[in-house]
Amino acid sequence: MSWRKMKFGDFLTRSKIPIVIQDDETYKRVTIKIKHNGVSLRDEEKGSKIGTKKQFILKAGQFIVSKIDARYGAIGIAPDEVEDAIITGNFWAYDVDFSKVNIEWFNQFTNSKDFYDICERASSGITHRKYLNETSFLNNEISLPDIDEQLRIIEEFKSNKIILNKQSTELTHQLDLVKQLRQAFLREAMQGKLVPRDLNDEPASKLLEKIKFEKEQLISNGKLKKQKELLPIKQEDIPFNVPKSWVWCKFGELAYITSGSTPKSTAFVDEGIPYLKMHNLRNQKIDFFYKPQYIKEEVHNGQLKRCRAYPGDIIMNIVGPPLGKIAIIPDTLKECNFNQAAVLIRPFNPKLNKFIFWFLNEMSEINLIETKGVAGQNNISVTQAHNMRIPIPPISEQNRIVSKLDELMKFCDKLEESIKGSQKQNEMLLQQVLREALEPKEKQE
């Protein structure tokens, strides 16, 4: 099989069909997605709302390049839906000489590292605003097999890609099954079906009496403000049955709950008290060093005193989507603060924190809350957080449940890790198949 060198300009000819935008006409506009995700119809707009009046017409089947984002994969073939759409000078449209290049072969080549490197070398300007130089771009050479061989190669590649895409779909399905498995474990745990019960366990009603006493002591000592009485849970409001030794109660009975706050920009410093935002709640853990921020100690102990957080406290986001980001403050953060998109849940009995954490991860109660949408976001109020219902087992049974869940979640973690490893191998194999399809054998060797 013979390959020959050919410049882009040998088979790509710039198409410039000018058009002057008329205010009373409607025009189709296109978008080119980065990462080689294709060309599609962006919208249809009245000419009176289009600022740039001198544009160009795009034809279906043309090769189109964004001179700004080509190095990020903003290239592709114009589909039928964008026939006669308009493009500005920032998009370049090319007619293709199909006697020299198979457009599907070339389209796959434009998704290769070699092509991205070509676009990078042919671009100039500041780091975040580089522009493709057309002359430099068209003068780049690539190795091309003859047209019949291009067709054979692309058909073989498409067949291999179908197989690999099926494997990718199956792996994605497997990840979803692991997610469902996690939720099944949590659901069974919260319904008292995960671990055996011990008749010698002190019933949860006794635990709740002790917590109520401890709460009253905190109030009488001035360490906690007296709260509005919570309405009791009616029998008809209980979402599912639990063992007799368990008891349903509300979060406000079990824990101190408060929302976070955002101080003025002058409160933020290079070194100080760690300050959490919702991007620090990652994979149901606190990752403070992902975009870390700090606030002044006097703000932490003054303006934001009510929302100081300590190891063992639970943080839950209350602004979404998504809702359900939950984490326990780790021992590595001796104290910290957090913004208004979260609530702090501090159990009056610290031994409850891990059970509460897993209950919140089960999501059934969060999903039942009537969230109030504001500007496209869902919100859980502090009052709603106080009134969330939770089934409480005896403390000994809680310990057994938490221990079993820790074990099962580690098992799920290993399953996920294995599947994601297979996904990575599948992606690498796809790139290898693409490389072999686009490069001469002697270069591969």
Residue 443: band (very low, low, confident or very high) from pLDDT cuts 50, 70, 90 = low
Pairing label, strands 342-347, 314-317: antiparallel
Pairing label, strands 141-145, 54-58: unpaired
Tens of pLDDT, residues 106-130: 888 888 888 888 888 888 876 667 7
Residue 371: band (very low, low, confident or very high) from pLDDT cuts 50, 70, 90 = low
Considering the domain 202-393, what is its CATH architecture?
Alpha-Beta Complex (3.90)
- On whether the CB atoms of residues 232 and 375 are closer than 8 A, the answer is no
347 pLDDT above the threshold of 60: yes
| Average pLDDT value for residue range 36-49 | 93
Tens of pLDDT, residues 128-157: 677 889 999 999 988 888 888 888 888 888
398 pLDDT above the threshold of 60: yes
Segments making up each domain of the chain, as ranges: 3-145, 202-393
Write down the mean pLDDT value for the chain.
Answer: 90
Percent of the chain residues past pLDDT 70, beyond the cut = 96
- For residue 445, what pLDDT is reported? 47
Q: Which of 75, 68, 110 is nearest to 90 (CA)?
A: 68
CA distance 66 to 35: 12
Residue 358: band (very low, low, confident or very high) from pLDDT cuts 50, 70, 90 = very high
68 pLDDT above the threshold of 80: yes
The angle subtended at Cα 120 by Cα 116 and Cα 123, nearest 5°, is: 135
- On whether the CB atoms of residues 345 and 255 are closer than 8 A, the answer is yes
- On whether the CB atoms of residues 95 and 43 are closer than 8 A, the answer is no
Are 3-145 and 202-393 the same fold in CATH? yes
The angle subtended at Cα 396 by Cα 387 and Cα 282, nearest 5°, is: 55
Percent of the chain residues past pLDDT 90, beyond the cut = 65
Q: Regarding the domain with residue range 3-145, which homologous superfamily does it belong to in the CATH classification? A: DNA methylase specificity domains (3.90.220.20)
Residue 291: band (very low, low, confident or very high) from pLDDT cuts 50, 70, 90 = very high
Tens of pLDDT, residues 191-242: 999 999 999 999 999 999 999 998 888 888 888 888 888 888 999 989 999 9
